């Protein structure tokens, strides 16, 4: 029996380890693309670089014009795939991961809740009734790719419990951020288009229940659903997450063949989609999003803009304070306990790294703000994330034991 438990535990951890390795490499690429975007936006070619993302691409047929700026296709179409993968990750956590057990799920949910409410409250207190107050959602999310990437710099000294906690926390506050986008950053709702999108989601569910394995019907319906949501006023990101949540977790039988768009032997639709799409998201979509959105002109006025300072302070101070405080209360009330190998000093360092917002923060900034306020929101995100990364790594460097064997509570 102990051997069987060890094998089952290894099977459960395998996708987590693969995910962390993928996110670690993705974080490095994200950093390179972010630096490249900033250099180009502050170079002699800045005008051409920034104008490039406004070039319209699409089809025009008679009175029908489907041409949109390049940044639209990145932020609305490609990022819908990012949110599809986020939905798959959420579904996996609900079925086989930390969220399957309510007792285990409570810790990252509490930490994520604190990591959303406190920075949001700090931003609102600083900007209430002033220009840019709509940007309160910018500092609420954690970018797990960057977090894992910086954790990897500390090597095997980092306990697996901290990595899993931060992964689950990031997924939990992704859920919160998606709810915020749906409720507060969507436009006027066109219910006919929204209804058509819901019909498409129902069709996806029905063909999944019918056992359809070919990806072609899912692709066609997925594109139709994306278009319906984009016309409805509800951001297509919501459609992406809902599609991910609908993915089947039923394992394919040994008679089902791999290839021609069908799932592999013994894998579920969820596992197959995540295996196929996650590398594209990690190595192409997220870096391209960073390259097209992180390019802002840096000068003294923009760096000291009240919105930039509010975002940066909310990430740098609000995130760790919220994560630590809500976790501390949960532990003191006996509702949760810290993961193996994680003490309060290590949790504090992880909370500081939680202030790396980046991808979701830039995404929400683009929905909440415009013009100079948007530039300030982006600069605040970059500054707050950078400071959180540096301070978090420095904190953990001294807080972690000198060797993996010394990790303990």
Q: In this predicted model, what pLDDT tens digit does every residue of 284-336 receive, in sequence order? A: 999 999 999 988 888 878 889 999 999 999 999 999 999 999 999 999 999 99
pLDDT greater than 50 at residue 175: yes
How is domain 2-186+235-406 classified at the CATH fold level? Answer: Na+/H+ antiporter like fold (1.20.1530)
Report whether 136 contacts 127 (CB < 8 A).
yes
Model pLDDT, residue 260: 44
* Composition of the chain by helix, strand, coil, percent to 5: 75, 5, 25
* pLDDT, position 245: 87
Q: What's the pTM value of the predicted model, to 2 decimals? A: 0.83
Return the SS3 of 343.
coil
Helix (H, G, I), strand (E, B) or coil at 54: coil
What is the structure's pLDDT at 128?
92
Pairing of strands 60-61, 56-57: unpaired
Output the 3-class SS for 89-115.
HHHHHHHCCHHHCHHHHHHHHHHHHHH
pLDDT band at 253 (very low <50, low <70, confident <90, very high): low
- Mean pLDDT computed over 176-193: 87
Q: Across all residues in the chain, what is the average pLDDT? A: 85
142-172 pLDDT tens trace: 888 888 888 888 888 888 889 888 988 988 8
Residue-level pLDDT at 409: 42
| CA dihedral over 43, 46, 48, 54, signed as positive or negative | positive
Q: Which residue has the higher pLDDT, 342 or 94?
A: 342
Among 109, 82, 97, which Cα is nearest to 18's? 97
First to last CA, the chain: 28
Closest C-alpha to 173, from 341, 311, 351: 351
Residue 251: helix, strand or coil by DSSP?
strand
Rounded CA separation 256/44 (Å)? 56
**Whether pLDDT at 407 is above 90:** no
Stretch 370-377: mean pLDDT, rounded? 92
Confidence bin at 5 (pLDDT 50/70/90): very low
Tens of pLDDT, residue by residue over 20-35, are: 677 778 888 988 999 9
Q: DSSP code of 157?
A: G
User: Smallest Cα–Cα separation from 173: which of 326, 383, 59, 71?
Assistant: 326
Q: Which is more confidently placed, 134 or 262?
A: 134
Q: What percent of the chain has pLDDT over 90?
A: 45
Which stretch of 6-20, 145-159, 254-268 has the lowest confidence by average pLDDT? 254-268
Would you state the pLDDT for residue 1? 41
Question: 338, 358, 6, 44: which is closest to 164 by C-alpha?
Answer: 338
Over 60: is that where the pLDDT of 174 sits?
A: yes
- pLDDT score, position 47: 92
């Amino acid at each position: 029996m102990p051997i069987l438990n060890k094998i089952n535990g290894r099977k459960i951890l395998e996708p987590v380890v693969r995910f962390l390795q993928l996110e670690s490499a993705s974080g490095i690429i994200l950093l390179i693309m972010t630096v490249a975007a900033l250099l180009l936006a502050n170079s002699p070619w800045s005008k051409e670089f920034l104008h490039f993302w406004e070039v319209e691409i699409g089809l025009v047929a008679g009175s029908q014009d489907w041409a949109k700026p390049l940044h639209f296709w990145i932020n609305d179409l490609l990022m819908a795939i990012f949110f599809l993968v986020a939905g798959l990750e959420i579904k996996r956590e609900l079925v086989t991961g930390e969220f399957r057990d309510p007792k285990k799920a409570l810790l990252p949910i509490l930490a994520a809740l604190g990591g959303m409410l406190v920075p949001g409250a700090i931003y609102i207190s600083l900007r209430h009734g002033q220009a840019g107050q709509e940007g309160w959602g910018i500092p609420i999310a954690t970018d797990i790719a960057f977090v894992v990437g910086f954790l990897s710099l500390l090597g095997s000294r980092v306990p697996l419990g901290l990595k899993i906690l931060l992964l689950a926390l990031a997924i939990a506050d992704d859920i919160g951020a998606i709810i915020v986008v749906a409720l507060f950053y969507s436009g006027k709702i066109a219910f006919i288009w929204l209804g058509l999108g819901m019909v498409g989601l129902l069709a996806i569910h029905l063909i999944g229940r019918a056992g359809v394995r070919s990806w072609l019907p899912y692709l066609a319906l997925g594109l139709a659903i994306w278009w319906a949501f984009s016309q409805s006023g509800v951001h297509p990101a919501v459609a992406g997450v809902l599609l991910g949540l609908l993915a089947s977790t039923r394992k394919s039988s040994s008679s089902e063949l791999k290839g021609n768009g069908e799932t592999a032997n013994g894998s579920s639709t969820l596992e197959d989609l995540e295996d196929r799409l996650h590398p594209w998201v990690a190595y192409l979509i997220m870096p391209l999003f960073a390259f097209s959105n992180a390019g802002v002109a840096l000068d003294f006025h923009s760096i000291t803009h009240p919105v930039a300072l509010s975002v940066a302070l909310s990430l740098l101070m609000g995130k760790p304070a919220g994560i630590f405080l809500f976790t501390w209360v949960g532990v003191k009330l006996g509702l949760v306990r810290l993961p193996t190998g994680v003490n309060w000093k290590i949790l504090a360092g992880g909370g500081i790294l939680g202030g790396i917002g980046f991808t979701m923060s830039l995404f929400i900034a683009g929905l909440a703000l415009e013009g100079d306020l948007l530039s300030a929101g982006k600069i605040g995100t970059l500054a707050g994330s950078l400071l959180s990364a540096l301070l978090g790594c420095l904190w953990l460097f001294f807080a972690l034991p000198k060797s993996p064997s010394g990790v303990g509570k």
